[in-house]
Each structure stands twice: as structure tokens, then as C-alpha cells.
Structure 1
């Protein structure tokens, strides 16, 4: 079984008719049995209302961009990410309707949590593959939920939370307690606990806002440790266990912006733990995306973990509609245009994602499986046109850029993964 994996497809424009770059990728992709991407936009004709908080850009694209993704040859998509509910439930349901109308399987979101967490299958002559989608990066309230005997479920994303433990010295702990007491920062929360609307925390902890701190005698300095939420992992592991009995290959797609410290190219501690736990449960491959740049590759127990494949298509600065909240954020007048708003965010193209060189180059993974093991993993560099005007940026072209291979090689070294100059994973 041959599988193509790509990162984020933040597509907001139509491809040009008979574009040679599209045709080249189509011809390459369709040699594989399965072709995957992360759909990071909602696709609908203004259904739904803009959410109070977006994933950074209210991501709405015309539904016919899905036809262009089909032209590339994609056969399965993840839709769990930090843009899934940019237009709330109606936007999600409209996107699902457009995907279903085109017979595109998708994972990671749905009308209930069971829908969102369920494996999606792709049938090929080489075998059956299962895909499970989940996101650790999303806005509060976007979580899907299941029905009970009293009320219906709620549409949303399949979510992975993290439990953070902030450990400080005894001296720092006392300062935090004093600050919390003097400012009454926790008074609302304390009342909710007292009246039974919230559960109380550990007596050995102090909370500042919604951040919990603890201490111990042996602590020499402050630190933060995050772990994947146990209930979420139980749900995801159950889905992997089901998929493993129903498919030849199981792929889990994880959308995660979280990082180690301020190093955007380093995956968060809890994501690394979650990825390995899912492989322990039976997953064959973890494909990550989210930070819009590459992260390293780990081979854990013989199974690949791609912590981020960066972008496949990235047109964050080509949206055609934005809500008033976006304009207000940047202090723009009522008569300001979309181009004005995008210029304000990027300081005229000098700040943010549009100015980050690493955003505009990435790789496509070409992977072959035989008898439950990968036999070849090849990385093909792509370029998304950083030097073009922003209204032309964002579509991929296959390249032979050795620096891209070198970069992902450097990022993979700490995991013990070696990549040769031809972009082949050798161990």
C-alpha cells in the first residue's frame, strides 16, 4: 500500500485551469493508493455566523475549492483543527455537506463526539486504511459532545486536551499565594466551588487565574510539565483499537500548534506522549500538522511519527471575507477593506507567517507499506511561492530543494531519525 501524506491545506482560491504544477502533483499523487491532507478552512456559502474567536483568521472558502483538492488527487481529509468552527456549528455542518456531496471521506469532526472520534476508512486494491482525526488546538466550546437520554449531542471537533503541572520553588509558591490573596483573582472561582458549580482543586495547589501551581521540597527551579488528558486518550485509544481490527493500516492525524517553550519547530511534550501511546495502542503512523512549519520525524517501535508536515497549500492572506471583530482588533475604520486588514496584521508583509521563510517550503511524504511495516519513506520538497505577490502565493510546486531536506533532517536528529540527501528515511 502506497500512501501520500501532506500537511495543511489552507486553500481560499481556485487553481488556474490546466496548471502544470497541479498536473505534476496530480500525476505523482495518483500513483499512490491513498492521498491525505488536512483541510484547514470551512467551505460554504456564508452559512453560519462568525465565531467570537477564530483560529487566527476566519477561514471561509467557496465550496468549489474542494474540487481543486480533488484535482490534486486527495482521497481522505482531516477536518479537526483550529478553524473547524470559525463559523460555528452551521459552518461546520455546511462544510460536511459539501464534503459528502463530493464523496470525500473526512475524519476529526462531526455532529457528535462519537462521529468526530470514529475512524474513517479508505478502500483500495492494496488494502484498507483507517484514519482518525484529532486536534489539540481549538477554541473553548468547539468540543463535540455525545447525546444522553435527556439532551442531544453537539457538533464539534475531536479534541485532545493537556493537563499542565506548573512546579515552582517554595518561595515562588508563597509569592503566588500572596498575590492571589491580595488581588482576589480567584474569588469568582472560589464562589463557584463553594456553590457547587465547579469542583475544587488540590489543597497543595494555588491557582492564579486558570493556571495551577504546585511545589515540593526538592524543586530547585520553576518548570512546566504537560500530559495528555486521560479521558481523551482513553477515547482515542478505543478508536485506534477499533480501527486496528478493521483495517490494514491505521493513521492518526493530529493538529497541534503547541510547542516546547518558544521553539515552534519542536512538538509539545504531551503531543509526543500521546503519539507514542497511540502507536502502543495499535496505530501504524501519526501525521501531524498545525504550526505551518516542519517539525522532526520520530520512528517509534518501527512506526513513523511526523510531528508536522508544514503546509501543502497556504493562502491565509487571500481570504475574501472577515468579520467586524478582525477590523476592530487592528483599529481599522468601517470603510477599511480586506486588503487593509491583511496589511495591518502583517505590517505590510513584514511580520507574521507571511514573512517566515520556513512557512513557504515543506515536504510531501511518500510512504510504502507491506505486511504492517513501512518499507520506504521518501520526502519530496515543495515550494509555495514566497517571492510572489500575496494573491499568488500559497500553491505548491514540486522541487529538489536540498535545504528543505537538510532542515527536516536536522529537526529529526534529536529523535534518532536519519534522512539521506535524497530525502529517504533510512532509520
Structure 2
């Protein structure tokens, strides 16, 4: 009997040694930690899980008043550091901060503003850069879509149409409905500015969202709202303003949108990152900051860090989990990944501070999981 147990032990030890030295097959794929889904998502099958990639402000350089503030590579490498993440999603979203227009005069009222006017006019060919990076939908509801008047808005719509990128937020193009991989999406965008669908009219916003929900499986809502600058990282739960402009109550807007049928609410506008929240089992990002803004805005301090969000939902729009992929910007080096994880720490702090019960947990590595 003693000999029998000794043999069993030897077999067990040999087996453990063999398993510990197994090699990966030559064709095995190595997966980056950034692309791994949180544990809360892995229980769902791939066919049940929709991946949304979402980022904040995009402005790839402006040709106004001359070409001195355009990137020397024609913006071709703007997204190289994160292109794999942008492409690896069912739907990829961003806010297009400016127009796609090769030439044209600035809107006269912009030149009369008391503050220095920032006028963003990207060459039309830059739309192909956005397409190549993986962007499927863009918000054009913001305070820069009218920098070059009717010509700028018209050109932007025509160019995006030619590339197949969907957009929403203009009075003449308030929504978009489309199908990807058998899932029908409704997309709408809002801003407190002229010529765009108004952020401040909550009743009208709810009506638009309710109508989209009758047409689509998943409704994605974008808003450009809230005050601007480093003093405005927190969600104030009240109306905000910038100079004399009413920038809305973004918390009230987001909750109103979900109550009306939105499945995902994506905010931008303050030029800094803000908190995230889970409300009625739907995900809200209150501001995703400056993502890729070539020499157009300040990227010092907290203005230079931003998340690339991966949001996992089911086909009912319910939040399953997410991931914060940290990025940073400098005027010299452009968009890069941030190995220091600064924006993860910042979003975690802001969420804990602004929302004592946010309905989710943010891990140190950026994993986001729902919490009841």
C-alpha cells in the first residue's frame, strides 16, 4: 500500500511539472491587458455583448487663418497609439470639434466675440483619417460646428456621408439610424449652441430619444455641455454657464435622456474629464475631455489626460462592464497612451466625490463593473 501511494504521488508531481512548462502553440494570439474585458462581462457570450468605444473632443488641426496649425504628416498618424482599441469595437464614437472644409471665411459673429475666437477648420481629406482610425459615429453638435457658417456645416455633412461615418446633432441632421452586425442603433446629439439640436430643451430631447427607441434596439445619446476649464471637473447638479452662455444642467439632461429610453449617454465639452455613473442600469460619461486636439486647446495638467472608454452592453442596452484606457496629450508629441494611469485615478476620484452611490466600481487598472 505504501508503494502504491508513492507511485500516485510521483505521477501527480510529474504531471504538475509538465503542465507548468507547457508552451503556447506557435499560432497563439497574445492579448493586451488593455483589451481584456472585466470579469463582470466574461460570463456573457460574444454574441450577446456589444462593445462601444468612446472618446471626447477630436480636432486634428486647423487651417485657419493659415496652415501653420496643421500637423506636418497630414494627421495620418494622429491615432496610431490607440488605433487598435478604436478599431476593436462594434461602434466607435467621438466628438468632432470643428468642421471639415478646405477653404472658406469664418462666421462673422465668431470674429466679434469678446474672447479670442478659436476657429477650427480641418481639411476635408482628414475624414479618411477618422475612417481609418475606426470611427463609426461622430457628434457634430458643439460650439465649433458653426465656425464657418453654412458652408462649414454643409461640407462636413457631405464629407462624412462620402466616408460612411454616421453623425447627428445638426438641426438639418438631428439623428441617425443604422444597423451593424444585426443590431439597429439610434444616435442623437445635443448642444446649447446655434444650428444644433438644443441641449436645454429637455422635453424636446426626450421626444427625440423616445422616437429613436421605437426604431432602434440601442439608443446612443451624445451631449456637449457644462462649463469649461480646470475649475469645472466636478458635476455640479445644477445649471452651468460659460461667460454668459447657458451650458445646461448635464446631470438633469443625462437622467432625462435615460428615462426617455437612452441606453448610453456620452458627454463632452468642459475640456476636462468628469465622473461616470450607472443610472437605471445604463452608463453615463459626464465628460471625456480632450482626446486628440492638435494644438487647438490647452493640454496642460488635467486638460491633457483623457479616457478611451470601452463600454460593454447587452442587446437591451444594459450596462455589463467597461474599461478605461488611459491616454495623454502634449502639443509636441500628440496623443499617447499613459502608463501612469493618471486619468483612471482622476475619474475614480471624481466619481467617488460626486456620486457616493454611482452604481459602479472603478478598479485601479481601469476595469469598470456594475455595483448594486
CA-CA distance at 1:29 after TM superposition: 2.1
2:165 maps to 104
- The unaligned stretches of length 5 or more in structure 2 are 1-49, 62-69, 239-248
CA-CA distance at 1:121 after TM superposition: 2.4
CA deviation string 1:21-41 (max 9, x = no partner): 734522222221100000001
1:240 maps to 209
Q: Indicate yes or no: 2:343 matched with 1:404.
A: yes
Contact 1:22/1:71 (8 A) holds in 2: no
CA deviation string 1:138-180 (max 9, x = no partner): 3xxx2xxxxxxxxxxxxx211223xxxxxxxxxxxxxxxxxxx
Distance 2:110 2:363 in 1: 43
Distance 1:302 1:235 in 2: 23
Distance 2:365 2:299 in 1: 28
Alignment RMSD (CA, Å): 2.4
Distance 1:21 1:357 in 2: 20
Q: How does 1:11-410 map to 2 (within 5 A)?
A: 11-12=60-61, 13=70, 16=73, 22-53=79-110, 56-111=117-172, 115-116=173-174, 119-125=175-181, 127-136=183-192, 138=193, 142=194, 156-161=195-200, 232-258=201-227, 263-268=231-236, 269=238, 270-317=249-296, 354=298, 356-372=300-316, 373-384=318-329, 386=330, 390=331, 392-393=332-333, 395-410=334-349
Q: How does 1:416-427 map to 2 (within 5 A)?
A: 416-417=357-358, 418-426=361-369, 427=371
Contact 2:271/2:303 (8 A) holds in 1: yes
Task: From the superposition, tell whether residues 280 and 17 of structure 1 become closer, same or farther in structure 2 (CA, over 3 Å).
Answer: same
Q: TM-score, normalised by structure 1?
A: 0.64
CA-CA distance at 1:290 after TM superposition: 0.7
CA deviation string 1:235-290 (max 9, x = no partner): 21111111112212111100013379x94112352211111011111111110001
Q: TM-score, normalised by structure 2?
A: 0.73
Which 4+ residue blocks in structure 1 deviate beyond 6 angstroms? 17-21
Distance 2:257 2:106 in 1: 35
CA-CA distance at 1:294 after TM superposition: 0.3
Distance 2:362 2:204 in 1: 34
CA-CA distance at 1:17 after TM superposition: 8.2
1:2 maps to 51
Contact 2:59/2:122 (8 A) holds in 1: no
Aligned residue-pair number:
293
Distance 1:130 1:400 in 2: 35
The secondary structure found in structure 1 opposite 2:109 is coil
Task: From the superposition, tell whether residues 127 and 106 of structure 1 become closer, same or farther in structure 2 (CA, over 3 Å).
Answer: same
Distance 1:99 1:80 in 2: 14
Distance 1:33 1:18 in 2: 24
The secondary structure found in structure 2 opposite 1:276 is helix
Distance 2:107 2:141 in 1: 17
Distance 1:383 1:4 in 2: 17
Task: From the superposition, tell whether residues 94 and 129 of structure 1 become closer, same or farther in structure 2 (CA, over 3 Å).
Answer: same
